[in-house]
Amino acid sequence: MPELPEVETIRRDLEKKIAGQKIKSAGILATKSVHNKSVEFLKFLVGNNFSHIERRGKLLMFALKKVGKYAFMLVHLKMTGQLIYRHKKQILAGGHSQTAMDTTVPNKFTRVIFTFSDGGQLFFNDLRRFGYLKLVSKEEKEKIVKNNFGIEPLTPDYTLEAFEKLFKKRQTNVKALLLNQKLISGIGNIYADEACFDARILPFRKVSSLTKEEIRKLFSVIEHVLKLSIKHRGTTFNNYVDSDGNTGSHISFLNVYGRAGEKCKKCKSIILKNKHAGRGTHYCVKCQK
């Protein structure tokens, strides 16, 4: 479940490793994972290189050095996608890994492989095959960004004024608002629940019931929890690993997510879990109002 902090961790690390490296060869092991025709995808990328990597919400956008029909390779990890990089000497005889957390690559969940001129390799693994790689033109990329993403946290876009606007004339609940990428991007189930706990707000409250002060608090804790998680290199709950195949350590800082039935770290009440906005939702009924 890579969300903003996990995807940003991958972006930062991977950019250092592959920027400017010539793509010597590439292979598609699962055509479903590539949203272009295989031959065209491979033809356009081999001999090209990634100049830098951008991110919007949970979407990675690899900028291509040689621009033609296409200018970017979009990568969405969805629930179980991984991008693992290995230097030449790290590459072992793989292919026998039977679990998604065994980061020997390639393994049975490897869907796409890039090999660079220096011998390094990038592996796109995806157990559930929800994720994808897609070549798009500059215009398509801009259209996708414009149409699908709301306020981006950790950028100058993220202002209290813009955030407050989201709460005006809306009938939905707080959890659904936070998960809606078209309103605010990058937050998934883990950080939605954590942000609500940190702001002491029950996630199923109608957004219209929040006071100005509660909105302000939510605004500030979102920024805080995302930054803190990036510092911890993300949350590994199930499947997430960074581009070295290592887990993130933020899980031990989670207050509610994944802690149903356990004691609240603040007040010792039992953390509850119910379904809201179609997702498992964790909260402390004593700390959150």
- In the complex, which residues of this chain contact DNA (CB under 7 A)? 1-3, 57-59, 76, 78-79, 99-100, 127-130, 148, 170-173, 176, 179, 181, 188-190, 273, 275, 277-280
Asked if residues 270 and 283 have their Cβ atoms less than 8 Å apart, the reply is: no
| Catalytic residue flag (residue 231) | no
- For residue 101, the minimal CB distance to DNA (Å) is 9
| Catalytic residue flag (residue 279) | yes
Where b means 16+ CB within 10 Å and e means fewer, 220-255 reads ebbeebbeebbebbbbbbebbbbbbbebbebbeebb
- For residue 116, the minimal CB distance to DNA (Å) is 27
| Catalytic residue flag (residue 153) | no
Residue 57 or 120 with smaller CB distance to DNA: 57
Single out the catalytic residue among 3, 6, 8, 194.
3
Residue 14 or 277 with smaller CB distance to DNA: 277
β-bridge partners, 279: 276
Residue 67 or 285 with smaller CB distance to DNA: 285
Asked if residues 74 and 61 have their Cβ atoms less than 8 Å apart, the reply is: yes
Q: How far apart are CA 86 and CA 234, in angstroms?
A: 20
Cα 198 to Cα 2, 222, 289, distances in angstroms: 20, 8, 11
Single out the catalytic residue among 17, 65, 265, 279.
279
Asked if residues 133 and 112 have their Cβ atoms less than 8 Å apart, the reply is: yes
Residue 59 or 136 with smaller CB distance to DNA: 59
- For residue 119, the minimal CB distance to DNA (Å) is 30
| Catalytic residue flag (residue 223) | no
Single out the catalytic residue among 58, 175, 233, 259.
58
Active site residues: 2-3, 58, 279
